[in-house]
Structure 1
Amino acid sequence: MILEQPENAKNVAKRVLVADDSALQRRILSKILEARGYNVTQATDGAEALEMCRSTQFDVIISDWMMPQLTGPEFCQKFRAMEDGTYTYFVLLTTKGDAADIAFGLEAGADDFLTKPVDGSELQARLGAGHRIVEMQRELFIRNAEIAGALSEIQRLYDILDRDLQQAKTLQMSLLPEPNVTFGRASISLGLRSSGHVGGDLVGYFKINENQVGLFGLDVSGHGVSSALMTARLAGYLSAGDPVQNVAIDNQAGRPVAVSPERVVRRLNEMMFSEIATEHYFTILYGVINTETGDFSFCQAGHPHPILQRSAGSVQLLGAGGLPVGLIQGASYELSHIQLYAGDRVFIGSDGITEALNKKGEMFAEHGLCELLQRSRALSGDRLLNQVVDEVTRFTGSNDLEDDLSAISLGFRAAQ
């Protein structure tokens, strides 16, 4: 800090280093500075001054230009290289006054120049200007240190959150059952890829009885933690591990039986208004496959249309559309039904597939998915799902998904 008047000592920089090989010049400058309240240290040349700066923090350095061992600009350049974040105002004394010399001094790191012989009033004015610059520099240093501390704390909190989200992702993935299974003549493969650590998509299945399996794909509105928590709660209502709590299974005379898919969706919609306090809603495709006959009944509630692909390769969009669950209390939902034959399959995907955008703003869309399925007729199970992910990421031009992506492939084979 630099003081302009001794009576304002609280604002004055106390430590000034004068470097000059002329003893007379050092005495003259020291007398002027001490009379104005500064604490002055003298150095006989640039090398001695540089060594002093290694152990003492000076507020101002006034250095002659021409000195043995290190010239003033050389001293200034080496001094600037060893600064640790604090700032010192550096003034060069010179008889040189042309533009090239001034530019050379500025490039070396000097802040100002004084022409010999030094005038006391001019020196005071220069130091006053330096005081303002150093104060601003030190204030900036303090603010930068505060910002650095805040950023460090933010990073620490982010690292904690990131670890928690990584664990949450592991827990969410644990909600998925075995991704590739066979029940009788039916084969089911699941795929899920979140756009973030955790997401709002979920796919799954559960065995109802010896001939029936329920399967579902759902997509909770929004992204992130709150959506993921919602999927976790919904997973409990469609769980293979707790048939008693499963809203898709009824018990008749001690035997588990399937609840009709449209009734399952109605139950979930009622629960959204009566039991689940949330602003979220979700889309779902829920179906029941008879693993021996190939009878597949399902209800579509706002979820993308499932696609039926016959053994010969032709594709057909299925379903009646329907409202998402949790939007309108008392909404009605429709039951749809198809018959699967040997070699047929049903593909159920989320809107993360059909609504994926390329660089031109074009959607992958249902026709893109249908074309993909026709090209990939020879692929099945997880190989097909991997192909879907690969083609969607190629289409978008990025491995970073804008939305969660989930899918189910339901295949039906010939009787053994």
Structure 2
Amino acid sequence: MARRILVVDDSRVQRKILASQIARSGHRVTEAGSGEEALEICRREAPDVVISDWMMPGMSGLDFCKALRELEFDGYIYFILLTSKTETAEVALGLDIGADDFLTKPVSGDELRARIAAGERILRVERELKDKNRLLKTTLDQLQSLYDSIDRDLIEARKLQQSLVRERFRSFGNADVTLLLRPSGHVGGDLVGFFQISASRIGVFSIDVSGHGITSALMTARLAGFMSGNSPEQNLALLQTGAGYGARPPDELAGLLNRIVLSEMKTETYFTLAYAEVDLATGQVSMVQAGHPHPIVQRASGKVEFLGRGGFPIGLVDDARYEVIKVQLDAGDRLFLMSDGITEAPDPDGRELGAEGLAGLMHQCRGRQGDAFMQSLMMQLDAFSGGEFPDDVSAALIEFRGRP
């Protein structure tokens, strides 16, 4: 490949000799009689290689090299200094200024062509790297555009997911239900909700789908339809009885969901569930725990009780059996269902909050109710974790005022 080579020397004879030797290799040669003239030529059309004498009146070859390196060009210019200097310090100074190679006068034609060939290899690598960088930049720009598009979609998806929890609080007369949902990313796999079974009974649930991201979010959207209070005919927890609806026992509900996930959804995604059916008249609660963190009852005295024995997650084991947990709520008692994003929240040293840590936080918040309790709990959790949560955080709080 023919290169543009600039020869700079105050000696016209020396320039002609060098130009003649270079031209035999098929390169295009331009001549300059001084460093100042060479700079003007470089500004008009940048050469690929510069061969410059060191000792010249006015601007020396070293000064010319320094001035050249301060200019901006699209590509790299390979710079060879011609010199009679052999001292190590002088050569080091030239390299430090920006020279790439040296030739000692008088110049041998073979050595000159060999040094130019070496420079060509450097320029070829530089050009290949530049092309690859250009391709890489184009690819990164395309990826960034794609990421921005996905990011916008995920932001909208988060809004839609948040809309699945339409009510964060409702009073049922002698009992209140408060919900908390805080995804760790754009979209998550947690879902909480409640629905009315009858005038005196409600269902409250907490769900945690395995994994994070779009797959988990799609599963929560499907499950929201299965546990919807707005579409009782689609709610799997409800059974039509004449003109109204009754409740499917909690253990049967967990078994039904398990069969649907394994036989119909056919996905590797599974979820954990805590579902409670609350009798508003008596305070009697029937629950199922399917791999979910232990439900908590906090008595009016502030005492905390953990319920359940764990159980299998939904969608993992064929023909899994689930047991019903029963507990009595009295006036001032509350039931707390939450995802493991709370108990597994780490502090800055990586230590998890754990069940006992959560009991301590609930004890500190015992004097607050409803949303004030949830906000206080989250403030305590933020202080513990430093505000960073690797997993979604969700909870459902049922506060019982007592029999009417």
TM-score by length of 2: 0.94
Which residue matches 1:320? 309
Deviates more, 1:280-289 or 1:42-51: 42-51
Is the contact between residue 320 and residue 334 of structure 1 (CA under 8 Å) also seen in structure 2? Answer: no
Aligned to 2:16: 27
Secondary structure at 2:381 match in 1? helix
1:20-99 superposed matches below 5 A? 20-99=9-88
Q: Which residue of the other structure, out of 123, 126, 141, is the alignment partner of 2:112?
A: 123
**8 A Cα contact 2:197 2:247, kept in partner:** yes
**Distance (whole Å) between structure 1 residues aligned to residue 179 and residue 140 of structure 2:** 41
Q: Which of 332, 343, 346 is the equivalent residue of 1:343?
A: 332
- 1:106 corresponding residue in structure 2: 95
CA separation in 2, counterparts of 1:91 and 1:394? 63
Selected match of 1:296 from 280, 285, 288 = 285
Q: What's the offset of the Cα at 1:56?
A: 1.3
Deviation at 1:273, TM superposition (A): 2.6
SS state of the match for residue 156, structure 1?
helix
The answer to which of 48-57 and 371-380 deviates more is: 48-57
Equivalent residue of 2:44, what SS?
A: coil
1:31–1:323 CA distance, 2 compared to 1 (3 A): same
Find the aligned partners of 1:116 and 1:176 in 2 and give their Cα distance. 84
C-alpha displacement at 1:326, in angstroms?
1.3
The aligned runs of 1:6-405 (5 Å cut-off) are: 12-397=1-386, 399-405=387-393
Report the Cα distance in structure 2 between the residues aligned to 1:236 and 1:70, rounded to whole angstroms.
82
Shift of 1:155: 1.5
Structure 1 residues 347 and 84 mapped into 2: Cα distance closer, same or farther (>3 Å)?
farther
1:195 CA drift (Å): 2.3
Q: Between Structure 1 and Structure 2, how many residues are aligned?
A: 404
Q: Find the aligned partners of 2:302 and 2:377 in 1 and give their Cα distance.
A: 16
Q: 1:66 to 1:291 in 2, by over 3 A?
A: farther
CA distance in 1, matches of 2:258, 2:379: 34
Higher mean displacement: 122-131 or 230-239: 122-131
Q: Is this contact kept in 2: 1:216–1:285, CA < 8 A?
A: yes
SS of 2:204's partner is strand
Which structure 1 residue ranges, 5 or more long, are not aligned? Answer: 1-11
Structure-1 residue corresponding to 2:397: 409
Q: Once the 2 structures are TM-superposed, how far is the Cα of residue 415 of structure 1 from its aligned partner? A: 6.6
One-letter amino acid of the counterpart of residue 393, structure 2:
L
Question: Following the alignment from structure 2 to structure 1, what is the Cα–Cα distance between the partners of residues 191 and 67?
Answer: 63
Q: In the alignment, what sits opposite 1:3?
A: none
* Alpha-carbon offset, residue 105 of structure 1: 1.3
Cα displacement string for residues 98-152 of structure 1 (whole angstroms, at most 9, x for unaligned residues): 2222122112211001122322222112112212222222222222222222222
Percent identical residues: 48
Asked if 2 retains the 8 angstrom alpha-carbon contact of 1:85 and 1:141, the reply is no
Give the partner amino acid of 2:398. Answer: L
CA distance in 1, matches of 2:176, 2:58: 86
Is the contact between residue 283 and residue 403 of structure 2 (CA under 8 Å) also seen in structure 1? no
Shift in CA distance, 84/243, structure 1 to aligned 2, threshold 3 Å = farther
Three-state SS of the structure 2 residue aligned to 1:328 is coil
Q: CA deviation at 1:282?
A: 1.0
